[in-house]
Every structure is written in C-alpha cells, then in structure tokens.
Amino acid sequence: MSSNQALHEAVDWRNGRIAAGVNFDEQLYRTERRKVFDRAWLVVGHEQMIPRPGDYVSNYMGEVPVIVVRDSGSQVRVLVNRCPHRGNQICVHDRGKTKGFTCSYHGWSFSLDGTLVGAPMEKALYGRELDKAQWSVERVKNVASFHGLIFASFDPDAPPLEQWLDEDTRWWLENFVLALPLGGLEVLHGFHRNSAKGNWKIVAENFIGDNYHFFAATHHSYFSAVSAFQNAGELIPIVTYPDVARAGVTLRELSCGGNGRATVLGLGLVSIEDDVLHEQDLADAKRLGREAVEWVEYRHRRLSEVLADRPRKPFGFMNGLLFPNLGLMGNYSPMLGRHFHLFHPRGVLEHESWQWTMVEKDAPQSVKDIAVQRVYQGQYMAGLLAPDDIENFERIVDAGRPERSWSRPMNYGLQLDREVEGESGLPGRLGPNPNEMNQRQFYRCWLQMMEAA
C-alpha cells in the first residue's frame, strides 16, 4: 500500500470493503503515526485531574509519552516526556504533584512549563551557561480545553478545536457525554490500563459502532454468568446492571462529522424517547433510597427541558468513539459509571487501553457508588465484558498476520443501503441498530488523513 491509489482501493468504505492489511502493514503503520497521530487533536486528560499548580498526569499521544501539567501560572501544559540531553523520560510516575521535573540520568532539571532550569556542575563542565530556551523540554504548542476535556495536537497547522469538533459533535459531547445540563461529571482518580494484541483500529472501530457482536455472539458468557448469579439470588451490581437491550427499547446508531477536517463521532445503542429505561432507573434508585429517586427524577426533567424543541428525544447511548482513539461507554443511565478509554498504539500488532471513570458530579453518593461498582464488574479486565473482546482481538491477529490474508477485504456492509432513517430532528445522522455506518465513517476519516499531503 505504498501509494494513495493502492490505499484508496484497500479502504473502500463506500462499499463496506476494507482490506485486512490496514491492521498489519508495518509501512502503513509508520505513515499512520505521522499522518493521523501527529496531526489529529487527541484527548490527553481532564482539567479535574490537575486542579492546582504542580499537579500532573502522564499520558501518550500515539506512541509519544507526554506530561499534562498545570504550571505555576495555572496554565495547562502538555510536555513531551523526553529530556533533551540524552532522551530519557523526565517523569516516571502516572500522576502527582511537583515543583519541577528532574531527569534521573544526569540530573538536568526543568520547571513546570518545561524550561531548563539547570544542570549539575553546569558552569564547570560547560564553560558558560547553557542556552535554557534551546535545551528546554519540547512543548506541544496546540493545547485546548473543551469543557474541561483537554485536547492536544502536534500539528502546527491543525484546525481550531471548534472546527475539529463540528457543531453536531459538540452538541452530543456537551449534552450526553459530558452531561453539562446535569452539572457535569466528576473524574475519579487514576487509570485502569491493560495491553493486548491487536492494532489500535480494531478496538477503536469496535467502540464506534460494533453492536452486532454484543447481541450476536461475543458476550454470551456475560449473559450466562448474569443468569447464573440471578438464579442463585446473588444480586451483585453487575447483575442489576441497567439493561439497554430490554424489549420495547428503541435503539439507533448516531454518526456526526467526518467532512473535511472535522473528526468523526459515532455513538451506538442510542435510546430514543425511552420511558422504559427511565422506569428501570427509578426502580433501581428505589433500592438506594429517596435521594437516588429524587436525582433520577430531576435529571429526567432537566433533559426534557434541554430537548423540549427536538421532535425526537434521546435518552442516552451505550458505546461510542471520538476519532481517532477516545472510546466512550455507559452514557445511558445515571446508575452506571461513564468510562472513557484511550486506545494507544503500541506497534502494528498491539495496543494499550487506558480507562478512567466518571460519574455525574451532582448525583448522591449512593448513586455514584453503585455506578462505579458496575463499571469495575463489567468493562474492566477483571470484569465480565472486556475479556471477551480481548480474546477476539487476539484471534484476529493470529488469523490475519500472514501477508497472504492482507488483500482480501473484510465485510463492513451491514445496513449499507439503509444507513439513515429519514430526518430525525437531531444533530448528526441517525440510523438503525445494529449498523456499520460508524465503522465506515471511521475509515472514511482515517483515509482522508492518510491521503492528505
């Protein structure tokens, strides 16, 4: 796939045919790092993770380690975690509070904004003072916040974040991902991290719209385990998990953006005008007490006010992805923690998943507690859901690694001629569920960036 023509033929997103080689070709992966991860706006954290000067968290932009830090003037900085002297990482902790960073190799020290402060025996060994500006830590110049969600881009010509997130995408992020009408979200401390086989695109496109696997085959073990717990009378949080698949619930797929330099947002299992799920939340809240019931009723009224002028009224969604690598899950019930995933590439055949959990900030503690427990028992690697997916990703690598398999296209043709079900009165394109339009839009956006000069 050394030419744009070959790549265009391999990624025939319009007809739902994607060559398997996009997940295995080393040369393509090197181009992808440069054209996708070095150019896109990437989520690197949330402002609640670094509330005060000196607070920092470590993260990655593609394969590049970075430090997200609030400097002494309270400005959010993103620094490449690499000492300019010999290339050692200057920060080895996931998070913390500091007055500056010191490299463990030769002791060069840097301020919170990355400026070189000094080096051991500087005057004696260098003869004159080092050029502090020239030998400072590399700063990621493009850093912006969207209601607390921190984005960064290496691309000096990156479009403004408001253009990268088009109007439709911003509406869904504000109202249903970040829950601004409900008072916003509370970020819980720490990341849950795991590494696994599989190109990062395999897990990213799973989140953006692959609800087919959920109902068809993959998670039968989850349903069996839940049934066994229920029969034994053990109502642990994962057993009483809000059920988006209940009879009578109207489910849709939602796609936004993907035109020009705007990114794609895809949401799956979007529930519409759903009294069934609201009643389910109320019944769940009654087990927790009056405060929980009042919260469920309040948030339902508040969302109804926000959607008053919309002919169709979404209730929430289960899974999603903001291209390229921010996975979303659990946004259809206040009784379920919202988890954000970052899918970091680790070579062509592996990825890391970094997951942090958020709850609705103004919810009572009883709601927050059960919401978090359900996340841990579900999508975490020690839970009942994530291991099923990881096993499939490993098998995809084992079956697809031989170069003989690379050119044969994979089928992304689900609902190809029935993607959108007329005007919905909502931002974006609303279609039936299950549907693979979001995977097709994912590869459309990916191809645009790969073919760009």
Q: pLDDT tens digits, residue range 257-309?
A: 987 678 999 999 899 877 888 988 999 999 999 999 999 999 999 999 999 99
Residues 305 and 415 in one domain: yes
Count of CB atoms within 10 A of residue 217's CB? 10
Which residue in 176, 156, 149, 168 sits closest to 259, CA to CA?
168
Task: Phi first, then psi: give them for residue 370, nearest 5 degrees.
Answer: -75, -30
Dump pLDDT digits (tens) for 414-450. 999 888 877 788 999 999 988 999 999 999 999 999 9
Dihedral sign from CA coordinates of 240, 242, 244, 248: positive
Residues 320 and 398 in one domain: yes
Residues 184 and 138 in one domain: no
Residues 192 and 250 in one domain: yes
Torsion of CA 316, 321, 322, 327, to 10 degrees: 100
Encode the chain (453 residues) as per-residue pLDDT tens digits.
557 788 988 999 999 999 999 999 999 999 999 999 999 999 999 999 999 999 999 999 999 999 999 999 999 999 999 999 999 999 999 999 999 999 999 999 999 999 999 988 888 888 777 888 899 999 999 999 999 999 999 999 999 999 999 999 999 999 999 999 999 999 998 788 989 999 999 999 999 988 777 666 666 676 677 677 777 776 676 667 667 666 567 789 999 998 767 899 999 989 987 788 898 899 999 999 999 999 999 999 999 999 999 998 999 998 999 999 999 998 888 888 898 999 999 999 999 999 999 999 999 999 999 998 887 776 666 666 777 778 888 898 999 989 998 888 999 999 998 888 777 889 999 999 889 999 999 999 999 999 987
Residues 217 and 340 in one domain: yes
Q: Is 271 contained in some domain?
A: yes
Residues 169 and 137 in one domain: no
Residues 249 and 301 in one domain: yes
Q: Is 362 contained in some domain?
A: yes
Q: Is 126 contained in some domain?
A: yes
CATH of the domain at 127: 2.102.10.10
Q: Is 417 contained in some domain?
A: yes
Residues 84 and 207 in one domain: no
For residue 170, the SS3 value is helix
pTM for this predicted structure: 0.93
Residue type at position 253:
E
SS3 per-residue string spanning 6-64? HHHHHEEHHHCEEEHHHHCCHHHHHHHHHHHHCCCCEEEEEHHHCCCCCEEEEEEECCE
Dump pLDDT digits (tens) for 349-366. 999 999 999 999 999 999
d(CA 345, CA 333): 30
Residues 315 and 199 in one domain: yes
Burial of 344 (0-12, 13-18, 19+ CB in 10 A): buried
pLDDT of residue 444: 95
Residues 281 and 191 in one domain: yes
Tokens of 310: 């919309």
CA distances from 38 to 26, 140, 157, 286, 294 (A): 17, 11, 11, 49, 46
Q: Is 52 contained in some domain?
A: yes
**Which of 91, 116, 143 is a domain's end point?**
143
d(CA 429, CA 434): 14
Domain that holds residue 131: 42-143
Q: Is 308 contained in some domain?
A: yes
d(CA 119, CA 23): 44
Q: Are 338 and 330 in contact (CB under 8 A)?
A: yes
The contacts of residue 369 (CB under 8 Å, 6+ apart) are none
Residues 244 and 335 in one domain: yes
Residues 90 and 183 in one domain: no
**Which of 116, 143, 170 is a domain's end point?**
143
Q: Are 24 and 199 in contact (CB under 8 A)?
A: yes
CATH of the domain at 285: 3.90.380.10
Which residue in 72, 326, 46 sits closest to 190, CA to CA?
46
**Which of 114, 143, 172 is a domain's end point?**
143
Q: Are 66 and 78 in contact (CB under 8 A)?
A: yes
Structural domains in the chain (count): 2
Q: Is 35 contained in some domain?
A: no
d(CA 83, CA 101): 10
Q: Are 194 and 306 in contact (CB under 8 A)?
A: no
d(CA 92, CA 9): 43
Q: Is 182 contained in some domain?
A: yes
Please state, rounded to an integer, the average pLDDT across all residues of the chain. Answer: 90
CA distances from 69 to 103, 114, 139, 401 (A): 16, 10, 11, 39
